[in-house]
């Protein structure tokens, strides 16, 4: 009999990718994806451990599900993702409503776990078994056929920044076989993908050895370049230390690699970078920026910033502010430091809350200014937009420019999947608005 499954996904694109692969996998057992979270047989929370109070948020979510199903048959309750990995069987003690706890590197076992789930026998699976996960998902077709499709090429991290849980929740760096990725990319293109986003916790550390040859992310980008149906290539998230020459060269050789680099720096002070164990300096970061700008002046950077990391003085903070003014980052993320249990920075002395809030406001003000300045510079210009979707309930379409900004304009659904020239007439900080440029898009409407 047909059963329904709903997955609520938190956090990064890698979790979104994983959720889609779980849907693909459990289909074999007759579980069909549902968007109605109130009437399912299996409810999955795919969790994220990056933000503050992640664990508490998961228990809160389960409380909500319990209320939804108070008068109905209980769904199989699965907690997946990084909180599951970090908390493992402890979760059953705190919340008996949970039936299955499964870490991100064990998703290839999900069908077996569900099959065994009889007599409400609770199961926990949190091994770091990345190679088998990759091999399993190679055999399950990726049905994620959106215009912009994600594909995980690498998981885990060996860098051990002192504030971060990823090395503990996703395990050591592990790269997928080159040909496995290419096979999946070809399927995605056949299913209509026009943009491929290569994903990894340290995506530019991708390194796969076969017959004494090392395949790097630059090899993947060069291969993707050769598919005529593919219009755009992106990758995220990268580490400054892995911005090697071959990857930088791709920005001169590839026409499809978008001129938008999301490269987290976290702080503009070398003292703080050292305390964070980031393994790069502000100078090496600026050097990467300048080399890329020299190749293509249209390249723009975005970044992540941790404000008020323990030990950050006013001078350190001002160094970060200076860097934001120099590089003019767009589309960036900034947060006040909050400790993650189990990390080296978990028990450090925190900076005063009011000072931290002031610093965050200041940096966000500058980042917003950069963003608005960038968007305003596009007014009255025609820009390339990859059309991704229709906006629900409206006759408008949604797409993205090369810097990942949303662009909204009137148009027909036949344009989904096309790259169109859109003349921008209005902007705000988050979105651009315009009309299809008639003379350049004669067949578009
Ligand atoms: S490099 Fe990124 S994923 Fe790895 S520990 Fe540092 S912040 Fe976390």
Q: Which residues of 282-295 are buried (b: 16+ CB within 10 A; e: fewer)?
A: beebeebbeebbeb
Q: What is the pLDDT of residue 119?
A: 60
Residue whose CA lies nearest to ligand 1 atom number 1? 159
Whether the CB of 14 sits within 6 Å of ligand 1:
no
The DSSP bridge pattern shows strands 260-262 and 100-102 to be: unpaired
Rounded to whole angstroms, the Cα distance separating 123 from 323 reads 48
Rounded to whole angstroms, the Cα distance separating 433 from 435 reads 7
Rounded to whole angstroms, the Cα distance separating 126 from 49 reads 15
Total residue length of the chain = 445
Instruction: Check if the beta carbon of residue 215 is closer than 8 Å to that of residue 207.
Output: yes
Q: What is the pLDDT of residue 439?
A: 67
Which residue among 14, 86, 161 is best mutated to probe the pocket of ligand 1, counting the most ligand atoms within 8 A of its Cβ? 161
Whether the CB of 202 sits within 6 Å of ligand 1:
yes
Q: Which residues of 79-101 are buried (b: 16+ CB within 10 A; e: fewer)?
A: bbbbbbbbbbeebbeeeebbbbb
Atom of ligand 1 nearest to the CA of 165: 8
Whether the CB of 331 sits within 6 Å of ligand 1:
no
- Residue 93 Cα to ligand 1 middle (Å): 30
CA–chain centroid gap for 371, Å, is 20
Digitized pLDDT (tens) for each residue of the chain, 445 residues in all: 689 999 999 988 889 999 999 999 999 999 999 999 999 999 999 999 877 677 888 999 999 999 999 999 999 999 999 999 988 888 999 999 999 999 999 999 999 999 888 666 788 888 888 888 888 888 788 776 689 999 999 999 999 999 999 999 889 999 999 999 999 999 999 999 999 999 999 999 999 999 999 999 999 999 999 999 999 999 999 999 999 999 999 999 999 999 999 999 999 999 999 999 999 999 999 999 999 999 999 999 999 999 999 999 999 999 999 999 999 999 999 999 999 888 999 999 999 999 999 999 999 999 999 999 999 999 999 999 999 999 877 789 999 999 999 999 999 999 999 999 999 999 999 999 999 997 655 545 4
- Bridge partner residues of 102 (DSSP): 80, 125
Which residue among 48, 50, 164, 344 is best mutated to probe the pocket of ligand 1, counting the most ligand atoms within 8 A of its Cβ? 164
Rounded to whole angstroms, the Cα distance separating 79 from 59 reads 10
Whether the CB of 405 sits within 6 Å of ligand 1:
no
**Which tokens hold the place of 213?**
């040859």
- Residue 344 Cα to ligand 1 middle (Å): 13
Please choose, from the candidates 59, 101, 56, the residue with its C-alpha nearest in 3D space to the C-alpha of residue 81: 101
Instruction: Check if the beta carbon of residue 249 is closer than 8 Å to that of residue 288.
Output: no
Instruction: Check if the beta carbon of residue 346 is closer than 8 Å to that of residue 55.
Output: no
Q: pTM, whole model, 2 decimals?
A: 0.92
Query: Which residue, chain included where needed, has tokens 């344009």?
Result: 415
**For the chain, how far is it from start to end, CA to CA, in angstroms?**
44
Show the CA angle centred on residue 151, arms to residues 279 and 87, nearest 5°. Answer: 65
Which residue among 160, 238, 262 is best mutated to probe the pocket of ligand 1, counting the most ligand atoms within 8 A of its Cβ? 160
3-state secondary structure the chain: CCEEEEEEECCCHHHHHHHHHHHHHHHHHCEEECCCCCCCCEEEEEECCCCCCHHHHHHHHHHHHHHHCCCCCCCEEEEEHHHHHHHCCHHHHHCCCCCEEECHHHHHHHHHHHHHCCCCCCEEECCCCHHHHHHHHHCCCCCCCCCEEEEECEECCCCCCCCCCHHHHCCCCEECCHHHHHHHHHHHHHCCCCEEEEECCCHHHCEEEECCEEEEHHHHHHHHHCCCCCCEEEEECCCHHHCCHHHHHHHHHCCCECCEEECCCECCCHHHHHHHCCCCCHHHHHHHHHHHHHHCCCCEEECEEEECCCCCCHHHHHHHHHHHHHHCCCCCEEEECCCCCCCHHHHCCCCCHHHHHHHHHHHHHHHHHHHHHHHHCCCCCEEEEEEEEECCCCCEEEEECCCCCEEEEECCHHHCCCEEEEEEEEECCCEEEEEECCCCCCCCC
Residue whose CA lies nearest to ligand 1 atom number 6? 161
Rounded to whole angstroms, the Cα distance separating 417 from 366 reads 34
Name the phi and psi angles at 10, rounded to 5.
Answer: -115, 155
Whether the CB of 167 sits within 6 Å of ligand 1:
yes
Rounded to whole angstroms, the Cα distance separating 417 from 38 reads 33
């Amino acid at each position: 009999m047909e059963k329904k499954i709903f997955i609520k996904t938190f956090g990064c694109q890698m979790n979104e990718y994983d959720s889609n692969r779980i849907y693909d996998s459990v289909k074999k057992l007759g579980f069909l994806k549902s968007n109605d979270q109130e009437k399912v047989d299996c409810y999955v929370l795919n969790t994220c451990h990056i933000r503050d109070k992640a664990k508490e948020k998961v228990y809160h979510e389960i409380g909500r599900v319990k209320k939804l199903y108070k008068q109905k048959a209980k769904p199989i309750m699965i907690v997946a993702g990084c909180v599951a990995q970090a908390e493992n069987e402890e979760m059953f003690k705190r919340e008996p409503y949970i039936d299955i706890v499964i870490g991100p590197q064990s998703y290839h076992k999900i069908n077996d776990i569900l099959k065994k789930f009889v007599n409400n026998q609770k199961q926990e699976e949190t091994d770091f078994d990345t190679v088998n996960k990759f091999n399993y998902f190679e055999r399950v077709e990726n049905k994620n056929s959106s215009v912009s499709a994600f594909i995980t090429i690498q998981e885990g991290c060996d860098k051990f920044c002192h504030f971060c849980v990823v090395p503990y929740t996703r395990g050591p760096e592990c790269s997928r076989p080159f040909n496995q990725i290419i096979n999946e990319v070809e399927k995605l293109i056949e299913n209509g993908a026009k943009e491929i986003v290569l994903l990894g916790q340290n995506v530019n550390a991708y390194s796969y050895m076969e017959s004494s040859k090392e395949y790097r992310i630059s090899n993947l980008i060069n291969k993707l370049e050769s598919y005529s149906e593919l219009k755009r290539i992106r990758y995220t998230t990268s580490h400054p230390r892995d911005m090697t020459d071959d990857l930088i060269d791709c920005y001169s050789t590839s026409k499809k690699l978008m001129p938008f680099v999301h490269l987290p720096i976290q702080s503009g002070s070398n003292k703080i970078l050292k305390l964070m164990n980031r393994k790069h300096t502000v100078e090496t970061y600026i050097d990467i920026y300048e080399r890329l700008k020299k190749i293509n002046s249209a390249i723009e950077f975005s970044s992540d910033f941790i404000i008020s990391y323990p030990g950050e003085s006013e001078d350190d903070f001002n160094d970060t502010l200076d860097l934001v003014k120099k590089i003019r980052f767009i589309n960036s993320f900034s947060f006040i430091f909050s400790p993650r249990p189990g990390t080296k920075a978990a028990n450090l002395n925190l900076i005063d809350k009011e000072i931290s809030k002031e610093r965050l406001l200041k940096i966000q003000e500058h980042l917003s200014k950069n963003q608005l300045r960038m968007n305003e510079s596009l007014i009255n210009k025609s820009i390339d937009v990859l059309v991704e979707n229709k906006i629900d309930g409206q006759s408008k379409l949604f797409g993205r420019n090369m810097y990942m900004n949303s662009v909204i304009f009137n148009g027909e659904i036949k344009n989904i999947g096309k790259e169109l020239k859109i003349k921008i007439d209005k902007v705000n900080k988050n979105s651009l608005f315009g009309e299809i440029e008639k003379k350049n898009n004669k067949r578009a409407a």
